Amino acid sequence: PKDIDLNLKAYQMFEGTDLLAIEGMSFSTVLALMSEVGMEGIKKFKTAKHFASWLRLAPNNKVSGGKVLSSKVPKGSNRLKIALRNAANAIGNLKDSTPLRDFFQRISFRKGRVSAISATARKLAVIIWNMVVKGIPYENPEGYLFLDQKRKLGLVKRIKKQIDKFGLTNEDLGLEISSN
């Protein structure tokens, strides 16, 4: 319907939770969540793991004698699982680096795109459960560091540790401190 503001309805239904803040989420994904489980339905799951398992997004670990026989995601589907997998696929197609996209890329490199879609869809389900049930807002960290920035911080940390270890002073290092 043209007259319905779906963003506002979802915001009201999920008691002030903005699910569209998650990258990759679309109106169709939120609509699938609203129609399949709703507000009260999602609160019936004790943990996010229960919710992901109900969606058939969590691996079914079959262990016998301490040996893992199988760890495949069980068969079965519903509209919400399909919507979350579509959102995960959209995350995989993003050009900008975000934590979810980088997670998708890491899994895709190791296990393939299909496994990455399932893993990211499970992660989305956990994020949604935490947002709706616990009221934790999703914040895409603006201070998200790229790999070269992480390396730089690690290098600075190691250098500071070495300076402290050997008791070096500014004069020893040849550093000038300007006082304004």
Model pLDDT for residues 80-126, shown as the tens digit of each residue: 888 999 999 999 998 887 888 888 999 999 989 999 999 999 999 99
69 CB contacts (<8 Å, ≥6 apart)? 62, 63
147 pLDDT tier (thresholds 50, 70, 90) = low
Check residue 66 and give its pLDDT. 84
In this prediction, residues 66-75 reach a mean pLDDT of 79
Q: How does DSSP classify residue 143?
A: T
The answer to whether the pTM exceeds 0.85 is no
Report, in this order, helix, strand and coil percent for the chain, each rounded to 5.
Answer: 60, 5, 35
